Amino acid sequence: MTESPRVVILGGHGKIALLAAPKLKAKGFAVDALIRNPEHASDVEAASANPVLLDIERAGMDELAAVFDGAKAIVFSAGAGGGDPRRTNAVDFEAATRAIRAARQSGVKRFVMVSYARALVDADNLDPAHSFYPYARAKHDADEALRDSDLDYTILGPGALTLGPATGKVDVADESGKIDGSDLASSDTSRENVAEAIALVIDKGLLIRQTANFFDGQTPMEEAWS
């Protein structure tokens, strides 16, 4: 019996990861979800994924590469959650860039990064004293490291994340998180739409070496990104 192609998700107990895992499973993928707290294993299993205990903040590149070996794709949807600049840099930049190098070492070409819509511009526009700056800097620099790699990356840049249901429809924003040069009254993106996007781009091979900033909108994802 042929094994299902495998996707490895970093940040496996995050809200987006728990929504993405069953969508990937429905498309025929097996999912390994990396978690640092063993108490989260049951939640991951309930989401149709295999929990793998590995703290990405402390794991070395060789440890990550061993987990990645043979995978179809890597998804980085981990995050420190803000608040602590040191830990934000450790997870959102350092762990992310280690994962990029580990993917190259293990020979996995496909890498999907969950970022946010203004990641390209906020680091240059915000005062470094602003409380959001450490996160903006970390995400910007991790995204740039991925763009500079030779991986078949996709960077997904949602807007303000919500708990709303997936619509499977988006409005595509530009590199500064605007549409037609204007800020929208609402730039929300449901976490479940981000999960839909992860499963879609991996399954269909969309947005290779591209960044896609998007909000909940009117255009079916596959139409918007094909």
The whole-number pLDDT of residue 159 equals 94
**Three-class SS of the chain:** CCCCCEEEEECCCCHHHHHHHHHHHHCCCEEEEEECCHHHHHHHHHCCCEEEECCCCCCCHHHHHHHHCCCCEEEECCCCCCCCHHHHHHHHHHHHHHHHHHHHHHCCCEEEEECCCCHHHHHHHCCCCCCCHHHHHHHHHHHHHHHHCCCEEEEEEECEEECCCCCCEEEEECCCCCECCECCCCCEEEHHHHHHHHHHHHHHCCCCCEEEEEEECCEEHHHHHC
The whole-number pLDDT of residue 94 equals 97
* pTM (2 d.p.): 0.95
Q: What is the mean pLDDT of each run of 10 residues along the chain (226 residues)?
A: 88 97 98 97 98 96 97 95 87 97 98 96 91 94 98 97 95 87 74 98 98 96 95
The whole-number pLDDT of residue 1 equals 56
